[in-house]
Amino acid sequence: METTHNYSKRITYAAMVIGAAIVVILSYVLLTSDDLPSRNVGGEDGVLGGEFTLNSLHGDVSLSDYRGKLVIVYFGFIQCSQVCPVSMRTIQRTLESMEPQEVDNIQVILVSVDADDTYEALDAYAKKYHPNVVGVTGTLDQIRDVIDEYGSYYAPNDLEEFDKGRAFRHSSRYYLVNQKGELVDAMRHSSTPNEIRARLRELIKEGESL
């Protein structure tokens, strides 16, 4: 017959497990929210998107370096363990499902929202997913400027233990920039590789008529 003491221990353990699960779920929801508010929407002219220059292992990288190509801009950081790996694998699968001549005209810019990410680590992280991914970052002010320009969002996470203290809430959308350097779409984190591929192919066709 189970004693009251053992029963209480089992209830306490179950409560701890449920509590931990709730923390993980809430953290994931916070990090993947597509509706996080932007501190400022757009650049000085109120139009979302636009030119920016940040730093990579191999020097400065500007959006205009890829004029004539489609660009996917994604905001994340190396130690992101919940959202960024999912997003980067989605981008990876999207590119791997496309024809080589299509991929040649697509560039991915991973903008780290963590100014402490080193260029070496960021470059290795980006190239792990695809050769067409370049990892860039900058000072806190530079990062904030780009985030504001694209109507995106990030902030330090309040959960001290989450992600070993290096955690940020951030927008998880895929920002699509056309061949003229114009932001034309911000696809949700939940978008599938098939959906992103279809949208990229639409933009490729539109670009052929520019």
pLDDT of residue 156: 66
3-state SS class at 107 = strand
Q: What gap in Å lies between CA 168 and CA 155, rounded to an integer? A: 5
Total Cβ atoms within 10 A of residue 74: 22
pLDDT of residue 208: 76
Low-confidence ranges of the chain (pLDDT < 70): 1-46, 156-168, 209-210
pLDDT of residue 3: 58
| 5 assigned binding-site residue | no
pLDDT of residue 59: 96
- CATH number for the domain harbouring residue 171: 3.40.30.10
Cβ distance 153 to 36 under 8 Å? yes
Q: Which domain holds residue 69?
A: 33-208
Tell me, yes or no, whether 132 lies in a domain. Answer: yes
Reading the block at residue 44, the tokens are 């000085």
Tell me, yes or no, whether 19 lies in a domain. Answer: no
pLDDT of residue 168: 65
pLDDT of residue 8: 59
Tell me, yes or no, whether 152 lies in a domain. Answer: yes
Residues near 132 by Cβ (< 8 Å), separated by ≥ 6?
A: 95, 103, 106, 107, 108
| 170 assigned binding-site residue | yes
Tell me, yes or no, whether 74 lies in a domain. Answer: yes
Tell me, yes or no, whether 28 lies in a domain. Answer: no
Tell me, yes or no, whether 14 lies in a domain. Answer: no
Tell me, yes or no, whether 188 lies in a domain. Answer: yes
Please give the model's pTM, rounded to 2 decimal places.
0.75
| 84 assigned binding-site residue | yes
pLDDT of residue 184: 94
DSSP one-letter string for 144-168? HHHHHHTT--EEE-S-TTGGGG--E
pLDDT of residue 47: 75
Tell me, yes or no, whether 203 lies in a domain. Answer: yes
Exposed, middle or buried, 119 (CB in 10 Å: 0-12/13-18/19+)? middle
Provide the domain count of the chain: 1
76: left (phi over 0), alpha (psi -120 to 50) or beta: beta
pLDDT of residue 38: 35
